[in-house]
Amino acid sequence: MEIPANTTDAPVRPARYIELDSLRGLAALIVVLHHLRLLWQGDAEPNSGILRSLLSLANPVGSGAVILFFVLSGFVLSLPAVGGRPQAFLTFVIRRVFRIYLPYLAALAVAVAGAFWLHGIVTSNTWFHFFWSEPVNWHLVLQHVMFVGVYDTNQFDYPIWSLVQEMRISLVFPLLCAFVLRFKSKWSLVIAFGLTAIALVIQKPPFLIGWPVAESVHIAGLFVLGIFLARERSSLGAWFIRRPRRFAAAVIAMTVACLLLNFFVSPQSANSIERFFPHVMTCIRHWLIALSSGGLMIISMSSASWKRVLHWPPIHFLGEVSYSLYLWHAVVMLYCVHLLYGKLPLWVIVCLVLVLSIVVSWCSYRWIEKPSMTLGRKVSNLSQRSPVKVAA
Protein backbone atom coordinates (compact mmCIF):
# COMPACT_ATOMS: atom_id res chain seq x y z
CA MET A 1 0.00 0.00 0.00
CA GLU A 2 1.61 3.23 -1.13
CA ILE A 3 1.68 6.31 1.06
CA PRO A 4 1.53 9.51 -0.98
CA ALA A 5 4.71 11.50 -1.19
CA ASN A 6 4.79 15.28 -0.78
CA THR A 7 3.73 15.73 -4.37
CA THR A 8 1.70 13.56 -6.66
CA ASP A 9 4.49 13.11 -9.15
CA ALA A 10 7.53 13.19 -6.88
CA PRO A 11 10.46 11.31 -8.42
CA VAL A 12 11.30 9.53 -5.19
CA ARG A 13 9.84 6.12 -4.55
CA PRO A 14 6.92 6.46 -2.09
CA ALA A 15 6.94 4.73 1.26
CA ARG A 16 4.62 1.78 1.76
CA TYR A 17 2.29 0.37 4.34
CA ILE A 18 4.00 -3.00 4.20
CA GLU A 19 1.67 -4.43 6.81
CA LEU A 20 -1.36 -3.72 4.61
CA ASP A 21 0.38 -5.30 1.64
CA SER A 22 0.88 -8.38 3.81
CA LEU A 23 -2.78 -8.45 4.81
CA ARG A 24 -3.72 -8.43 1.14
CA GLY A 25 -1.24 -11.24 0.49
CA LEU A 26 -2.67 -13.40 3.26
CA ALA A 27 -6.17 -12.75 1.97
CA ALA A 28 -5.11 -13.77 -1.55
CA LEU A 29 -3.58 -16.98 -0.18
CA ILE A 30 -6.82 -17.76 1.66
CA VAL A 31 -8.74 -17.34 -1.61
CA VAL A 32 -6.36 -19.77 -3.32
CA LEU A 33 -6.79 -22.37 -0.56
CA HIS A 34 -10.54 -21.85 -0.67
CA HIS A 35 -10.64 -22.64 -4.40
CA LEU A 36 -8.40 -25.66 -3.93
CA ARG A 37 -10.84 -26.94 -1.32
CA LEU A 38 -13.77 -26.43 -3.71
CA LEU A 39 -11.88 -28.49 -6.27
CA TRP A 40 -12.38 -31.51 -3.99
CA GLN A 41 -16.10 -31.09 -3.46
CA GLY A 42 -17.83 -33.91 -5.27
CA ASP A 43 -14.51 -35.64 -5.92
CA ALA A 44 -12.01 -37.71 -3.95
CA GLU A 45 -11.09 -36.18 -0.61
CA PRO A 46 -7.36 -35.80 0.15
CA ASN A 47 -5.75 -38.64 2.04
CA SER A 48 -3.52 -36.30 3.99
CA GLY A 49 -5.24 -35.22 7.19
CA ILE A 50 -3.02 -32.15 7.51
CA LEU A 51 -3.76 -31.03 3.96
CA ARG A 52 -7.47 -31.69 4.40
CA SER A 53 -7.55 -29.65 7.63
CA LEU A 54 -5.63 -26.76 6.08
CA LEU A 55 -7.98 -26.52 3.10
CA SER A 56 -11.06 -26.93 5.29
CA LEU A 57 -10.02 -23.96 7.43
CA ALA A 58 -9.79 -21.76 4.35
CA ASN A 59 -13.11 -22.93 2.90
CA PRO A 60 -15.54 -20.80 4.97
CA VAL A 61 -13.45 -17.59 4.86
CA GLY A 62 -12.33 -17.64 1.25
CA SER A 63 -15.25 -15.74 -0.24
CA GLY A 64 -15.09 -13.11 2.50
CA ALA A 65 -11.42 -12.37 1.92
CA VAL A 66 -12.31 -10.55 -1.31
CA ILE A 67 -14.19 -7.91 0.72
CA LEU A 68 -10.90 -6.92 2.34
CA PHE A 69 -9.53 -6.13 -1.14
CA PHE A 70 -12.27 -3.56 -1.76
CA VAL A 71 -11.77 -1.80 1.58
CA LEU A 72 -7.99 -1.74 1.08
CA SER A 73 -8.42 -0.27 -2.40
CA GLY A 74 -10.62 2.53 -1.09
CA PHE A 75 -8.06 3.22 1.63
CA VAL A 76 -4.95 3.45 -0.54
CA LEU A 77 -6.58 5.20 -3.51
CA SER A 78 -7.91 7.98 -1.29
CA LEU A 79 -4.64 8.72 0.52
CA PRO A 80 -3.41 11.44 -1.91
CA ALA A 81 -6.76 13.27 -1.78
CA VAL A 82 -7.00 12.86 2.01
CA GLY A 83 -3.50 14.38 2.22
CA GLY A 84 -4.68 17.40 0.25
CA ARG A 85 -2.93 16.52 -3.02
CA PRO A 86 -5.42 14.68 -5.23
CA GLN A 87 -4.09 13.30 -8.47
CA ALA A 88 -5.21 14.69 -11.80
CA PHE A 89 -8.22 12.70 -12.95
CA LEU A 90 -6.52 11.60 -16.17
CA THR A 91 -3.36 10.66 -14.27
CA PHE A 92 -5.38 8.56 -11.83
CA VAL A 93 -7.28 6.73 -14.57
CA ILE A 94 -4.18 6.05 -16.67
CA ARG A 95 -2.21 4.65 -13.74
CA ARG A 96 -5.15 2.56 -12.57
CA VAL A 97 -5.67 1.10 -16.03
CA PHE A 98 -1.99 0.14 -16.30
CA ARG A 99 -2.01 -1.19 -12.72
CA ILE A 100 -5.06 -3.46 -13.10
CA TYR A 101 -6.04 -3.80 -16.72
CA LEU A 102 -2.82 -4.73 -18.54
CA PRO A 103 -1.89 -7.61 -16.17
CA TYR A 104 -5.53 -8.69 -16.39
CA LEU A 105 -5.32 -8.81 -20.20
CA ALA A 106 -2.21 -11.00 -20.00
CA ALA A 107 -3.93 -13.50 -17.70
CA LEU A 108 -7.09 -13.39 -19.83
CA ALA A 109 -5.12 -14.17 -23.01
CA VAL A 110 -3.51 -17.25 -21.42
CA ALA A 111 -6.87 -18.35 -20.00
CA VAL A 112 -8.67 -17.99 -23.35
CA ALA A 113 -5.90 -19.99 -25.04
CA GLY A 114 -6.37 -22.77 -22.50
CA ALA A 115 -10.15 -22.72 -22.91
CA PHE A 116 -9.72 -22.86 -26.69
CA TRP A 117 -7.49 -25.96 -26.65
CA LEU A 118 -8.57 -27.79 -23.50
CA HIS A 119 -12.28 -27.04 -22.98
CA GLY A 120 -14.51 -29.87 -21.84
CA ILE A 121 -15.67 -31.75 -18.73
CA VAL A 122 -12.77 -33.56 -17.10
CA THR A 123 -13.87 -34.15 -13.50
CA SER A 124 -17.02 -35.15 -11.64
CA ASN A 125 -16.83 -31.89 -9.66
CA THR A 126 -19.90 -29.80 -10.51
CA TRP A 127 -18.20 -26.58 -9.34
CA PHE A 128 -15.38 -27.15 -11.81
CA HIS A 129 -17.88 -27.57 -14.67
CA PHE A 130 -18.44 -23.79 -14.78
CA PHE A 131 -14.96 -23.18 -16.22
CA TRP A 132 -13.56 -24.02 -19.67
CA SER A 133 -16.61 -26.19 -20.15
CA GLU A 134 -17.52 -25.15 -23.70
CA PRO A 135 -15.89 -23.89 -26.91
CA VAL A 136 -14.65 -20.32 -26.78
CA ASN A 137 -17.35 -17.74 -27.45
CA TRP A 138 -15.51 -14.80 -29.03
CA HIS A 139 -18.32 -12.40 -28.20
CA LEU A 140 -17.80 -13.35 -24.55
CA VAL A 141 -14.07 -12.73 -24.98
CA LEU A 142 -14.83 -9.25 -26.32
CA GLN A 143 -17.04 -8.55 -23.32
CA HIS A 144 -14.19 -9.58 -21.04
CA VAL A 145 -11.85 -7.21 -22.86
CA MET A 146 -14.26 -4.28 -22.92
CA PHE A 147 -16.01 -4.87 -19.55
CA VAL A 148 -19.26 -4.30 -21.45
CA GLY A 149 -22.65 -5.50 -20.22
CA VAL A 150 -23.54 -8.31 -17.86
CA TYR A 151 -21.75 -11.51 -18.82
CA ASP A 152 -20.39 -14.81 -17.52
CA THR A 153 -17.14 -13.98 -15.70
CA ASN A 154 -16.61 -17.62 -14.70
CA GLN A 155 -15.82 -19.21 -18.03
CA PHE A 156 -12.16 -18.17 -18.46
CA ASP A 157 -10.71 -16.96 -15.14
CA TYR A 158 -13.36 -17.12 -12.42
CA PRO A 159 -11.84 -14.71 -9.79
CA ILE A 160 -12.00 -11.79 -12.25
CA TRP A 161 -15.53 -10.84 -11.21
CA SER A 162 -14.00 -8.70 -8.46
CA LEU A 163 -11.51 -7.15 -10.90
CA VAL A 164 -14.40 -6.10 -13.14
CA GLN A 165 -15.96 -4.34 -10.15
CA GLU A 166 -12.62 -2.85 -9.14
CA MET A 167 -11.99 -1.43 -12.61
CA ARG A 168 -15.48 -0.01 -13.01
CA ILE A 169 -15.41 1.71 -9.62
CA SER A 170 -11.87 2.98 -10.22
CA LEU A 171 -13.07 4.94 -13.26
CA VAL A 172 -15.38 7.03 -11.06
CA PHE A 173 -13.44 6.81 -7.79
CA PRO A 174 -11.86 10.31 -7.97
CA LEU A 175 -15.34 11.83 -8.29
CA LEU A 176 -16.70 9.62 -5.51
CA CYS A 177 -13.76 10.47 -3.26
CA ALA A 178 -14.10 14.19 -3.96
CA PHE A 179 -17.80 14.02 -3.07
CA VAL A 180 -17.18 12.11 0.18
CA LEU A 181 -14.40 14.46 1.29
CA ARG A 182 -16.70 17.46 0.98
CA PHE A 183 -18.46 16.27 4.14
CA LYS A 184 -17.26 15.70 7.66
CA SER A 185 -15.71 12.33 8.31
CA LYS A 186 -18.67 10.89 10.21
CA TRP A 187 -20.84 11.30 7.12
CA SER A 188 -18.57 8.93 5.19
CA LEU A 189 -20.19 5.96 6.90
CA VAL A 190 -23.66 7.35 6.17
CA ILE A 191 -22.75 7.63 2.49
CA ALA A 192 -21.24 4.13 2.50
CA PHE A 193 -24.31 2.48 4.02
CA GLY A 194 -26.52 4.65 1.83
CA LEU A 195 -24.92 3.26 -1.33
CA THR A 196 -25.74 -0.26 -0.19
CA ALA A 197 -29.33 0.80 0.51
CA ILE A 198 -29.56 2.31 -2.97
CA ALA A 199 -28.23 -0.91 -4.48
CA LEU A 200 -30.91 -2.95 -2.72
CA VAL A 201 -33.67 -0.56 -3.81
CA ILE A 202 -32.78 -0.18 -7.49
CA GLN A 203 -32.93 -3.92 -8.11
CA LYS A 204 -36.63 -3.85 -7.13
CA PRO A 205 -39.58 -2.50 -9.17
CA PRO A 206 -39.95 -0.02 -10.71
CA PHE A 207 -36.17 0.19 -11.32
CA LEU A 208 -35.23 -3.46 -11.94
CA ILE A 209 -31.63 -2.48 -12.63
CA GLY A 210 -30.40 -6.01 -12.01
CA TRP A 211 -28.07 -7.16 -9.25
CA PRO A 212 -24.84 -7.31 -11.31
CA VAL A 213 -25.13 -3.55 -11.89
CA ALA A 214 -26.56 -2.75 -8.45
CA GLU A 215 -23.70 -4.74 -6.90
CA SER A 216 -21.25 -2.15 -8.20
CA VAL A 217 -23.12 0.52 -6.22
CA HIS A 218 -22.96 -1.66 -3.10
CA ILE A 219 -19.23 -2.34 -3.52
CA ALA A 220 -18.63 1.40 -4.01
CA GLY A 221 -19.88 1.73 -0.43
CA LEU A 222 -17.08 -0.60 0.71
CA PHE A 223 -14.61 1.70 -1.07
CA VAL A 224 -16.09 4.63 0.87
CA LEU A 225 -15.40 2.74 4.10
CA GLY A 226 -11.76 2.66 2.96
CA ILE A 227 -11.89 6.45 2.49
CA PHE A 228 -13.20 6.84 6.04
CA LEU A 229 -10.37 4.69 7.42
CA ALA A 230 -7.80 6.73 5.49
CA ARG A 231 -9.19 9.95 6.95
CA GLU A 232 -9.33 8.65 10.51
CA ARG A 233 -6.32 6.32 10.54
CA SER A 234 -4.34 8.46 12.99
CA SER A 235 -7.17 8.99 15.48
CA LEU A 236 -8.31 5.37 15.22
CA GLY A 237 -4.73 4.18 15.67
CA ALA A 238 -4.25 6.38 18.74
CA TRP A 239 -7.54 5.11 20.16
CA PHE A 240 -6.45 1.51 19.59
CA ILE A 241 -3.09 2.03 21.31
CA ARG A 242 -4.93 3.08 24.47
CA ARG A 243 -6.99 -0.13 24.44
CA PRO A 244 -5.94 -3.20 26.45
CA ARG A 245 -4.20 -5.96 24.52
CA ARG A 246 -7.21 -8.22 24.70
CA PHE A 247 -9.03 -5.71 22.47
CA ALA A 248 -6.99 -6.89 19.45
CA ALA A 249 -7.95 -10.48 20.23
CA ALA A 250 -11.60 -9.44 20.35
CA VAL A 251 -11.35 -7.80 16.91
CA ILE A 252 -9.75 -10.95 15.49
CA ALA A 253 -12.47 -13.11 17.03
CA MET A 254 -15.14 -10.81 15.58
CA THR A 255 -13.53 -11.00 12.14
CA VAL A 256 -13.48 -14.80 12.20
CA ALA A 257 -17.08 -14.86 13.41
CA CYS A 258 -18.15 -12.58 10.55
CA LEU A 259 -16.32 -14.68 8.00
CA LEU A 260 -18.06 -17.78 9.34
CA LEU A 261 -21.46 -16.12 9.32
CA ASN A 262 -22.49 -17.94 6.14
CA PHE A 263 -22.60 -21.16 8.16
CA PHE A 264 -24.65 -19.82 11.07
CA VAL A 265 -27.42 -17.91 9.32
CA SER A 266 -30.65 -19.88 9.36
CA PRO A 267 -31.73 -20.70 5.79
CA GLN A 268 -35.37 -20.15 6.76
CA SER A 269 -34.75 -16.65 8.14
CA ALA A 270 -32.50 -15.77 5.24
CA ASN A 271 -35.07 -16.91 2.69
CA SER A 272 -37.87 -14.92 4.32
CA ILE A 273 -35.80 -11.74 4.16
CA GLU A 274 -34.58 -12.42 0.62
CA ARG A 275 -38.18 -12.62 -0.62
CA PHE A 276 -38.60 -8.90 0.07
CA PHE A 277 -35.05 -7.68 -0.68
CA PRO A 278 -32.95 -10.12 -2.69
CA HIS A 279 -29.25 -10.11 -1.77
CA VAL A 280 -29.86 -8.29 1.53
CA MET A 281 -28.18 -11.07 3.52
CA THR A 282 -25.20 -10.91 1.17
CA CYS A 283 -24.87 -7.17 1.83
CA ILE A 284 -25.15 -7.67 5.59
CA ARG A 285 -22.42 -10.30 5.52
CA HIS A 286 -20.23 -8.08 3.36
CA TRP A 287 -20.57 -5.18 5.77
CA LEU A 288 -19.81 -7.25 8.85
CA ILE A 289 -16.68 -8.56 7.13
CA ALA A 290 -15.75 -5.07 5.88
CA LEU A 291 -16.05 -3.44 9.31
CA SER A 292 -14.05 -6.17 11.02
CA SER A 293 -11.48 -6.02 8.20
CA GLY A 294 -11.18 -2.29 8.84
CA GLY A 295 -10.41 -3.11 12.47
CA LEU A 296 -7.67 -5.49 11.34
CA MET A 297 -6.20 -2.76 9.14
CA ILE A 298 -6.06 -0.27 12.01
CA ILE A 299 -4.52 -2.87 14.33
CA SER A 300 -1.94 -3.80 11.70
CA MET A 301 -0.86 -0.17 11.30
CA SER A 302 -0.82 0.57 15.03
CA SER A 303 0.51 -2.53 16.78
CA ALA A 304 4.29 -3.01 16.87
CA SER A 305 3.93 -6.77 17.40
CA TRP A 306 1.57 -7.10 14.44
CA LYS A 307 3.95 -5.09 12.28
CA ARG A 308 6.80 -7.44 13.14
CA VAL A 309 4.74 -10.42 12.04
CA LEU A 310 3.42 -8.78 8.88
CA HIS A 311 6.87 -7.48 7.92
CA TRP A 312 8.26 -11.02 8.03
CA PRO A 313 9.81 -11.53 4.55
CA PRO A 314 7.73 -14.59 3.49
CA ILE A 315 4.49 -12.81 4.37
CA HIS A 316 5.72 -9.58 2.80
CA PHE A 317 6.52 -11.55 -0.36
CA LEU A 318 2.90 -12.72 -0.50
CA GLY A 319 1.86 -9.08 -0.21
CA GLU A 320 4.03 -8.06 -3.14
CA VAL A 321 2.66 -10.73 -5.46
CA SER A 322 -0.89 -10.69 -4.07
CA TYR A 323 -2.56 -9.21 -7.16
CA SER A 324 -0.79 -11.62 -9.49
CA LEU A 325 -1.53 -14.53 -7.14
CA TYR A 326 -5.22 -13.68 -7.15
CA LEU A 327 -5.23 -13.15 -10.92
CA TRP A 328 -3.30 -16.26 -12.01
CA HIS A 329 -4.04 -19.05 -9.54
CA ALA A 330 -7.29 -20.07 -11.25
CA VAL A 331 -5.58 -20.19 -14.65
CA VAL A 332 -2.85 -22.42 -13.19
CA MET A 333 -5.47 -24.66 -11.60
CA LEU A 334 -7.45 -25.03 -14.83
CA TYR A 335 -4.36 -25.92 -16.86
CA CYS A 336 -3.14 -28.44 -14.28
CA VAL A 337 -6.48 -30.19 -13.90
CA HIS A 338 -7.19 -30.37 -17.63
CA LEU A 339 -3.71 -31.68 -18.41
CA LEU A 340 -3.06 -33.92 -15.40
CA TYR A 341 -6.39 -35.15 -14.05
CA GLY A 342 -6.48 -38.94 -14.16
CA LYS A 343 -2.72 -39.10 -14.69
CA LEU A 344 -1.71 -37.95 -11.19
CA PRO A 345 -3.48 -38.26 -7.84
CA LEU A 346 -5.65 -35.25 -7.08
CA TRP A 347 -3.68 -34.35 -3.96
CA VAL A 348 -0.51 -34.13 -6.06
CA ILE A 349 -2.28 -31.85 -8.54
CA VAL A 350 -3.48 -29.59 -5.71
CA CYS A 351 0.02 -29.31 -4.22
CA LEU A 352 1.40 -28.61 -7.69
CA VAL A 353 -1.21 -25.91 -8.28
CA LEU A 354 -0.29 -24.20 -5.01
CA VAL A 355 3.45 -24.17 -5.78
CA LEU A 356 3.05 -23.20 -9.43
CA SER A 357 0.60 -20.43 -8.54
CA ILE A 358 3.20 -18.77 -6.34
CA VAL A 359 5.94 -19.21 -8.96
CA VAL A 360 3.77 -17.88 -11.79
CA SER A 361 2.64 -14.99 -9.57
CA TRP A 362 6.23 -13.96 -8.92
CA CYS A 363 7.01 -14.11 -12.64
CA SER A 364 3.92 -12.07 -13.44
CA TYR A 365 4.79 -9.51 -10.77
CA ARG A 366 8.39 -9.26 -11.97
CA TRP A 367 7.84 -9.17 -15.75
CA ILE A 368 4.27 -7.98 -16.24
CA GLU A 369 2.94 -6.14 -13.21
CA LYS A 370 5.95 -3.97 -12.34
CA PRO A 371 6.76 -2.99 -15.95
CA SER A 372 3.09 -2.15 -16.47
CA MET A 373 3.05 0.16 -13.43
CA THR A 374 6.27 1.83 -14.60
CA LEU A 375 4.82 2.34 -18.06
CA GLY A 376 1.65 3.76 -16.54
CA ARG A 377 3.65 6.37 -14.61
CA LYS A 378 5.53 7.36 -17.75
CA VAL A 379 2.37 7.67 -19.82
CA SER A 380 0.54 9.60 -17.11
CA ASN A 381 3.43 12.05 -16.80
CA LEU A 382 2.73 13.13 -20.37
CA SER A 383 -0.58 14.57 -19.16
CA GLN A 384 0.97 16.63 -16.39
CA ARG A 385 1.50 19.74 -18.52
CA SER A 386 -2.25 20.45 -18.38
CA PRO A 387 -3.62 18.58 -15.35
CA VAL A 388 -7.30 18.66 -14.49
CA LYS A 389 -7.43 17.88 -10.78
CA VAL A 390 -10.47 16.76 -8.91
CA ALA A 391 -10.48 18.96 -5.84
CA ALA A 392 -11.29 17.31 -2.55
Q: pLDDT tens for residues 266-277?
A: 444 444 455 555
Residue 70 has pLDDT above 50, yes or no: yes
Q: Let me know: does 225 contact 74? Beta carbons within 8 Å.
A: yes
pLDDT band at 124 (very low <50, low <70, confident <90, very high): confident
Between CA 187 and CA 191 the distance in angstroms is 6
Residues recorded for the chain: 392
pLDDT at 194: 96
pLDDT at 164: 87
Long-range residue pairs from 119-127, CB within 8 A, at least 24 positions apart, any chain: 120/338, 122/337, 122/338, 122/341, 122/342, 123/43, 123/337, 123/341, 124/42, 124/43, 125/38, 125/39, 125/40, 125/41, 125/42, 125/43, 126/41, 126/42, 127/38, 127/39, 127/41, 127/42
Looking at the DSSP bridge assignments, the partners of residue 16 are 2
For 28-32, 234-238, 255-259, 386-390, which range has the lowest pLDDT when averaged over its residues?
386-390
Between CA 297 and CA 95 the distance in angstroms is 24
Residue 64 has pLDDT above 70, yes or no: yes
Between CA 303 and CA 297 the distance in angstroms is 10
Q: Which of 224, 231, 213 is nearest to 175 (CA)?
A: 224
| CA-based radius of gyration for the chain | 21
